[in-house]
Structure 1
Amino acid sequence: MLAVREFRPLLGNFLLSTIGDELARVALTVLVYQRTSSALLSAITFAISYLPWLIGGPVLSALADRLPRQRVMVATDAGRAVLVALMAVPGMPLPALLALMFVLAMCSPPFESARSALVADVLEGDRYAVANSMTNVGLQVAQVVGFVAAGALVTVLDPAGALLIDAATFVVSAIWLAFGLQRRPAPTSDAERQSLLRDALEGFRFIQRSPRLLAIIAVLWLGTAFIYAPEGIAAPLVAELGLGATGVGILLAANPLGVTVGGLAVARLVAPRRREQLIPGLVVLSLVPMVLAGLTAGLAEPGVLTFGVVVALLFVSGLGSAWMIPLNAAFVQAVPASHRGRAFGVAVSGLYGMQGLGALAAGAAAEVLAPSGVVVVCGALGLAAVVLPLLAFVRTQGHVAAERAAAGRSVS
């Protein structure tokens, strides 16, 4: 895949920005928890970068279908570099930092929708599936690097230093995209354009017409909401286990490291036709270890050994979370190229939005329960929530091609 010239900047800038984002996110989360000792405020800080997807994600994602996608990506990266640099101004009050982070996150929906749609334009068939696996594995590696680096650097760099590093990643990304991607016209012509809101609603209606897409979306949103909810209480959970700020980065890195290994195994060892069949079992594997991790953290003696067991269980949970790779490929196969920007916008907006809501709910629960108890609840509720979506997903397997053709006729 790296031999494809346009795929290199699409992958490289995505990984570079991810490392910087995770570094900044952990630094600010630790800072807020150190200042306030509030699990809820810490979770709000972590979740605020996800919640704008719920508010403006589907509407802003429609820009990826009505403007040249390369231009959308360059403009949003340049804007994010400026916003992050402003966040690094010394003495910036906490409310102002959170407001800037919120605006920063509003740039993500159009960027991610344009990037996802461009990858599907550049690569087709199983090459796209392999590239998608590579991107997902790379994402997890970048998150591991960002989280571990954040945990180590937060003790030697103040948040302003971490934010300046993040701003630099966006500058490099914008330059790379400007010169590394072919300039293509907007997928939607002037005659076909309508309001952004109507474009976004069309994305919702397009998905609603397909039982296959509805099942995929339900598994994706509900599964990730519960799997990633404990990330919002990483700081108080590490404090319960008796470790410091470095432990936050290690704890957060456990799941993406597991996804890295699991994603490689799925991509390299499993035939494409069998990957979808593994999804239900992998979803269960991603949630059961969370219950065990919470029980271990709550019942065992706090210390390095208990922390290590919890991290190992979260790593196993990450192995199961590789289900997102074949699920993404199944989603792409059901969406025609003309609607990928809007469809991706809806899917990714809900994905990040549910992660943000999950983190907020975990933070609120941690105000009345021990963080370890919240992890147990997240795993148990997640198992119950995904049963019906998984049954619908299995029931609609084998009908993608017919539904795709029907959807294409209905929206033309």
Structure 2
Amino acid sequence: MSTGDGRRATSEGRATDRASFRAVFAVREFRPLFGTYTLSTIGDELARVALTVLVYQRTDSPLLSAFTFALGFLPWALGGPVLATVADRFPRHRVLITSDVVRAVLVAGMAVPGTPLPLLLVLLFLVALCAPPFESARSALMADVLEGERYAVATSLTNVSLQVAQVVGFLAAGGLVTVLDPSVVLLVNAATFAVSAVWLTLGLQRRPAPTEELAAPSSVWREAGEGLRLIGGSPRLVAIIALLWVGTLFANAAEGIAAPLTDELGERAVQVGVLLAANPLGVTVGGLVVARFLGTARSDRLMPVLVGLSLAPVLLAGLVAVTAGPGRGAFAVVVGLMFVAGLGASWTIPLNVAFVQAVPPAYRGRAFGVAVSGLYGIQGVGALAAGLAAEGLSPSAVVALTGGIGLVAVVPPLLAYGRTRTLVAGDRPAAGPSVS
């Protein structure tokens, strides 16, 4: 999300310049912002898979495995909008560097062999607490150094990079956990944060805290409350947020039980990464198709089809796993269906445009803070719910239920989205951060 309007952009990122990938990468400060984000995302997915496998191997509990996967999302749900305001209270370059240093130390502590499971989870939660300030500061600095079309191109490039980094991280993690101890994989993640901190230190300009430029900065609670009131008072925004949260809840819940599902299908730990990588790979391809061939207007009209495509394959994947049982053939089909579900998940791109259109420019930062915090939080809730259900049902049955219930649950927000399509606050979409 972005908390700035780009008015402090340097001469390197003027809006009048030609927008292209080369022009974006020509901006000196964009390179460390983009590179460290990609590097840290890969490291995060390495750690996520390693910890999920480690906890499942120690406890044989789908619930604890899902809880470990979900723990990284919970700080967003518990206080994301408030934690995100740290980016406006301190110099943003300092927030980024400090967050990475703290995370490097904490993850290195998690890598100590024999660390008790409760302490491991506490350290993981502390690592996750650093994410909202870091993400807010990074998005805000993107708007500080880039304007207009360059900012729009950079945002799209970053979103694609996120999906690719997730694919690489999940696949690499699946391979590493079979040949290395999970503690070594965690050390790799700690190293990515350390490298990121050094790169940001060398590559970013020193800027004062944004609040130093304001005569009377408002309370963080007031700013978060304004974002909530704005969304609650707009039927259009309520419909968009409901569709985003409900669709994401059921489309991604199965990620929380990837380890027990892989085990049920008779596969080794290496395949956990393959299963987790299938959906973001589909999102990457689907996003490129939407951007290159469909366009946001046409994809907006196809919203019901795309939403259905993001959930129906999840239902089918669960049914295939239930009926086929262990066997490489069944696992390959499940992975393929999760990839197709990722293709459908490209519906978040036109939804992001609709959200920007519906929010007055002066409130976009706060509104996106609420939307993104809820989005991360709902993913954690979905993973936990799937893990809890898998304590009594087979993981494959839980996947099937997730897809089936999701197809029914998204109907009301889809109808509300269609009814409120003409309720737009702005005249046209503007470059802005992604809520997906």
**Superposition TM-score, scaled by structure 2 size:** 0.87
Residue 408 of structure 1 aligns with which residue? none
Counterpart mapping for 1:1-400 below 5 A: 1-4=21-24, 5=27, 6-124=29-147, 127-188=150-211, 189-335=213-359, 338-400=362-424
SS at match of 1:83: helix
Could you give the per-residue CA deviations for residues 269-288 of structure 1, whole angstroms, max 9, x where no partner exists? 22343343333321111000
User: Which residue identity does 1:280 align to in structure 2?
Assistant: P
| Counterpart Cα distance in 1 of 2:187 and 2:230 | 40
User: Which residue identity does 1:365 align to in structure 2?
Assistant: A
User: Which residue identity does 1:159 align to in structure 2?
Assistant: P
> Given that residues 359 and 426 in structure 2 are in contact (C-alpha distance below 8 angstroms), is that contact kept between their aligned partners in structure 1?
no
- Stretch moving more, 7-16 or 158-167: 7-16
Could you give the per-residue CA deviations for residues 200-233 of structure 1, whole angstroms, max 9, x where no partner exists? 2222123223333222221111111111110111
After superposition, the Cα gap between the structure-2 partners of 1:113 and 1:98, relative to the gap in structure 1 and judged at 3 Å, is same
Deviation of the 1:11 alpha carbon: 2.2
- Stretch moving more, 123-132 or 55-64: 123-132
After superposition, the Cα gap between the structure-2 partners of 1:391 and 1:136, relative to the gap in structure 1 and judged at 3 Å, is same
- Stretch moving more, 392-401 or 53-62: 392-401
SS at match of 1:291: helix
Could you give the per-residue CA deviations for residues 55-89 of structure 1, whole angstroms, max 9, x where no partner exists? 12121012233433333222222221121112122
> Given that residues 264 and 325 in structure 2 are in contact (C-alpha distance below 8 angstroms), is that contact kept between their aligned partners in structure 1?
no
> Given that residues 121 and 337 in structure 1 are in contact (C-alpha distance below 8 angstroms), is that contact kept between their aligned partners in structure 2?
no
> Given that residues 360 and 425 in structure 2 are in contact (C-alpha distance below 8 angstroms), is that contact kept between their aligned partners in structure 1?
no
After superposition, the Cα gap between the structure-2 partners of 1:56 and 1:326, relative to the gap in structure 1 and judged at 3 Å, is same
| Counterpart Cα distance in 2 of 1:357 and 1:365 | 12
| Counterpart Cα distance in 2 of 1:402 and 1:134 | 24
Deviation of the 1:398 alpha carbon: 4.2
Q: Which runs of 4+ in 1 moved over 6 A?
A: none
| Counterpart Cα distance in 2 of 1:304 and 1:359 | 25
User: Which residue identity does 1:3 align to in structure 2?
Assistant: A
Could you give the per-residue CA deviations for residues 113-150 of structure 1, whole angstroms, max 9, x where no partner exists? 22233434544556544433322221111111111111
| Counterpart Cα distance in 2 of 1:245 and 1:116 | 35
Deviation of the 1:353 alpha carbon: 0.7
- Stretch moving more, 155-164 or 307-316: 155-164
**Superposition TM-score, scaled by structure 1 size:** 0.91
> Given that residues 24 and 162 in structure 1 are in contact (C-alpha distance below 8 angstroms), is that contact kept between their aligned partners in structure 2?
yes
Deviation of the 1:262 alpha carbon: 0.6
| Counterpart Cα distance in 2 of 1:19 and 1:39 | 24
User: Which residue identity does 2:79 align to in structure 1?
Assistant: G
User: Which residue identity does 1:270 align to in structure 2?
Assistant: L
- Segments of 5+ residues of structure 1 without an aligned counterpart are 406-412
> Given that residues 334 and 403 in structure 1 are in contact (C-alpha distance below 8 angstroms), is that contact kept between their aligned partners in structure 2?
no
| Counterpart Cα distance in 2 of 1:93 and 1:337 | 48
| Counterpart Cα distance in 2 of 1:122 and 1:337 | 19
- Stretch moving more, 295-304 or 114-123: 114-123
Percent identity of equivalent pairs: 67
Residue 17 of structure 2 aligns with which residue? none
- Stretch moving more, 154-163 or 118-127: 118-127
- Stretch moving more, 212-221 or 183-192: 183-192
Deviation of the 1:333 alpha carbon: 4.0
- Stretch moving more, 39-48 or 123-132: 123-132
